[in-house]
Amino acid sequence: MSKYFLFFAALILFVGCAAKQKDPTGVTYDFWMAQKEHDLKKASALSLKNDPDDVKIHSKINIDRIAYGEPKIHGEEADVPTTLYLKDFTPGSDAEAKVPFDTKLRKTENGWKVDTFETKKALYLAAGKAYAQNLPTAFAQSIKNFLGDRKEIEGVFKELLQGIKKAIDQSPKSN
């Protein structure tokens, strides 16, 4: 009886893993989890080229969490709406950056595979946009952290103006 149980358990595990390769969302999930864990070997096994150098993403992309939408399948290609939530993305800001894009996949004889070239192109375009959107807020936060809040800044400028006025009043007047 235990032999049959082990056989069925192994069969269910095998079928479950094989089913993931047939589902674009499952492949996308596994690919981005491998990226998050810096497991380039696993990520490359889920990509078209199966090359660890091909799947490397920029070192500034530090994945905190990931969200997925419903895949759009059109023939042998699929787009899976993916949102990466990145930490430590914008200098001077602890805010999490939200980067939405589509993970691009192609169907092969071995199931769905991530087209890393097209996916990275979409990711970097979306990351650039997110960076540009977060930069002014991060810059303002950096200034605030450096100078203090508005009342403190106003106080500094008042003292500065008073000091300038005093220096002008005390300077020898020349005709």
Instruction: Name the residue with higher pLDDT: 44 or 91.
Output: 44
Look at the chain and report how many structural domains it folds into.
1
In a domain, 172, yes or no: no
In a domain, 150, yes or no: no
pLDDT at 21 over 60: no
Instruction: Name the residue with higher pLDDT: 133 or 84.
Output: 84
In a domain, 22, yes or no: yes
Do 108 and 48 form a contact (C-beta atoms < 8 A)?
yes
pLDDT at 78 over 70: yes
CATH number of residue 109's parent domain: 3.10.450.50
Instruction: Name the residue with higher pLDDT: 84 or 8.
Output: 84
Do 20 and 26 form a contact (C-beta atoms < 8 A)?
yes
Q: List CB contacts of 64: < 8 A, sequence separation 6 or more.
A: 85, 86, 87, 96
Q: What is the mean pLDDT of residues 70-96?
A: 87
Length of the chain: 175
Please choose, from the candidates 53, 15, 157, 46, the residue with its C-alpha nearest in 3D space to the C-alpha of residue 108: 46
In which element (H, E) is residue 158 found? Answer: helix 150-170
Instruction: Enter the DSSP assignment of 61.
Output: -
pLDDT in tens, 128-137: 888 777 666 5
In a domain, 157, yes or no: no
Do 110 and 93 form a contact (C-beta atoms < 8 A)?
no
In a domain, 155, yes or no: no
In a domain, 168, yes or no: no
Looking at every residue in the chain, the average pLDDT score rounds to 79
